Amino acid sequence: MCGIVGLYLKNQSLENQLGSMFAPMLEAMTGRGPDSAGFAIYGDQVFDGSTKITLRHPDLEYDWDTLAHRAQTHLAVSVTFMRNHHAAVFKVATDAQTASGYFATHAPEVALLSAGQSIEILKAVGLPAEISSDFNLTSMQGSHIIGHTRMATESAVTLEGSHPFSTGQDLCLVHNGSFSNHNRLRTELAYHGYQMQTENDTEVAAGYLTWRMDQGDTLDQSLQHALQDLDGFYTLAIGTKNGFAVIRDPIACKPAVLAETDDYVAMASEYQALTSLVNIEHARIWEPEPATIYSWQRDSQQG
Amino acid sequence: MQSINLAEHSVRQLNQLLHDQYHHFDQPQWQVSATSGQHNIACGLNQKLEVNIDGHVGYFCAGMNQLAHVTVHGNAGQGVAENMMSGTVHVKGDASSAAGATAHGGLLIIDGNTGARCGISMKGCDIVVKGNVGHMSCFMAQAGTLVVCGDAGEALGDSLYETVIYVKGKVQSLGADCVEKPLTKKHLMQLKKLLKSADTEEDPSQFKRYGSARQLYNFKVDNAY
Percent of all residues in chain A with a pLDDT value above 90, rounded to a whole number: 88
Beta-carbon neighbour count of residue A163 at 10 Å?
Answer: 28
**Quick one: average pLDDT of A114-142?**
96
Q: What is the pLDDT of residue A167?
A: 84
Q: What ipTM was assigned to the predicted interfaces of this complex?
A: 0.87
CATH architecture of A46-117: 2-Layer Sandwich (3.30)
Residue A22 pLDDT grade (very low, low, confident, very high; cuts 50, 70, 90):
very high
Q: Residues near A129 by Cβ (< 8 Å), separated by ≥ 6? A: A27, A30
Chain B CB contacts of A286 under 8 Å are 94
Q: Do B56 and A286 touch (CB under 8 A)?
A: no
Cross-chain CB nearest to B116 (options A252, A271, A272): A252
> Which is catalytic among the residues A2, A206, A209, A246?
A2
Q: pLDDT: is B219 or A171 the higher one?
A: A171
For chain A, the average pLDDT equals 94
Q: What is the pLDDT of residue B218?
A: 67
Q: What is the pLDDT of residue A155?
A: 74
- B221: in domain: no
Distance from CA of A224 to the nearest CA of B (A): 19
User: How far apart are alpha carbons A220 and A243 in whole angstroms?
Assistant: 10
Distance from CA of A275 to the nearest CA of B (A): 6
Beta-carbon neighbour count of residue B54 at 10 Å?
Answer: 17
- B18: in domain: yes
- B119: in domain: yes
Q: Is A252 on the interface with B (CB under 8 A)?
A: yes
Q: What is the pLDDT of residue B65?
A: 98
Residue A220 pLDDT grade (very low, low, confident, very high; cuts 50, 70, 90):
very high
Distance from CA of A271 to the nearest CA of B (A): 6
> Any idea what DSSP says for residue B168?
S
Residue A156 pLDDT grade (very low, low, confident, very high; cuts 50, 70, 90):
confident
Within 27-86 of B, beta carbons closer than 8 Å to A belong to 36-38, 56, 58-59, 75, 77-78
Residue B176 — φ and ψ, nearest 5°? -60, 130
Domain assignments of chain A as residue spans, ordered by start = 2-45+122-302, 46-117
Contact A86, A60 (CB under 8 A): yes
pLDDT at residue B225 tops 70: no
Contact A25, A277 (CB under 8 A): yes
Q: What is the pLDDT of residue B216?
A: 84
Q: What is the 3-state secondary structure (H, E, C) of B3-61?
A: EEECCCCCHHHHHHHHHHCCCCCCCCEEEEECCCCCCCCCCCCECCCEEEEECCECCCC
Residue A303 pLDDT grade (very low, low, confident, very high; cuts 50, 70, 90):
very low
Percent of all residues in chain B with a pLDDT value above 90, rounded to a whole number: 95
Helices (H) and strands (E) in chain A, counts: 8, 16
Contact B130, B198 (CB under 8 A): yes
- B225: in domain: no
**What's the start-to-end Cα distance of chain B, in Å?**
52
Distance from CA of B135 to the nearest CA of A (A): 8
Cross-chain CB nearest to A272 (options B37, B75, B134): B37
Q: Do B58 and A271 touch (CB under 8 A)?
A: yes
Q: What is the CATH number of the domain that holds B163?
A: 2.160.20.60
User: How far apart are alpha carbons A115 and A258 in whole angstroms?
Assistant: 28
- B38: in domain: yes
Chain B CB contacts of A290 under 8 Å are 116, 134-135
pLDDT at residue A300 tops 70: no
DSSP state string for A94-124: S-HHHHHHHHHHH-TTSEEEEEESSEEEEEE
Q: What is the pLDDT of residue B221?
A: 54
pLDDT at residue A92 tops 90: yes
- B199: in domain: yes
A164 upstream amide cis, omega within 30 of 0 = yes
Test the A interface: residue of B59, B60, B73, B96 with most A CBs within 10 Å:
B96
pLDDT at residue A190 tops 90: yes
Q: What is the pLDDT of residue A301?
A: 41
Q: Do B135 and A271 touch (CB under 8 A)?
A: no
Residue A162 pLDDT grade (very low, low, confident, very high; cuts 50, 70, 90):
confident
- For B140-190, how does the pLDDT look when each residue is reduced to its tens digit (9 = 90+)? 999 999 999 999 999 999 999 999 999 999 999 999 999 999 999 999 999
pLDDT at residue B224 tops 60: no
For chain B, the average pLDDT equals 96
Q: Do A272 and B97 touch (CB under 8 A)?
A: no
Q: What is the pLDDT of residue A237?
A: 97
The CATH label, of 2.40.10.10, 3.40.50.261, 3.60.20.10, 3.30.43.10, for the domain at A2-45+122-302 is 3.60.20.10
Cross-chain CB nearest to B36 (options A275, A285, A287): A275
Let me know if A2 is a catalytic residue: yes
Q: Which of A118-132, A159-173, B72-86, B162-176 has the lowest mean pLDDT?
A: A159-173
Q: Is A55 on the interface with B (CB under 8 A)?
A: no
Cross-chain CB nearest to A271 (options B77, B97, B116): B77
Contact A60, A134 (CB under 8 A): no
Helix (H) or strand (E) holding A184: helix A182-191
Domains of chain B: total: 1
φ/ψ region of B208 (left if φ > 0, alpha if ψ in -120 to 50, else beta) reads: beta
- For A43-60, how does the pLDDT look when each residue is reduced to its tens digit (9 = 90+)? 999 999 999 999 999 999
**Quick one: average pLDDT of B2-14?**
98
Distance from CA of A143 to the nearest CA of B (A): 26
Q: What is the pLDDT of residue B187?
A: 97
- B223: in domain: no
Cross-chain CB nearest to B115 (options A272, A285, A287): A287
Q: Is B124 on the interface with A (CB under 8 A)?
A: no
Which residues form the domain of B20?
A: 2-216
Chain A CB contacts of B96 under 8 Å are 255, 287
Q: Is A287 on the interface with B (CB under 8 A)?
A: yes
User: How far apart are alpha carbons B72 and B58 in whole angstroms?
Assistant: 11
Q: pLDDT: is A197 or A287 the higher one?
A: A287
pLDDT at residue B112 tops 80: yes
- B222: in domain: no
Q: Do B58 and A287 touch (CB under 8 A)?
A: no
**Secondary structure (3-state) at A233:** strand
| Extended strands (E) in chain B | 2-5, 29-33, 50-54, 69-73, 88-91, 107-110, 123-129, 143-148, 164-167, 178-181, 208-212
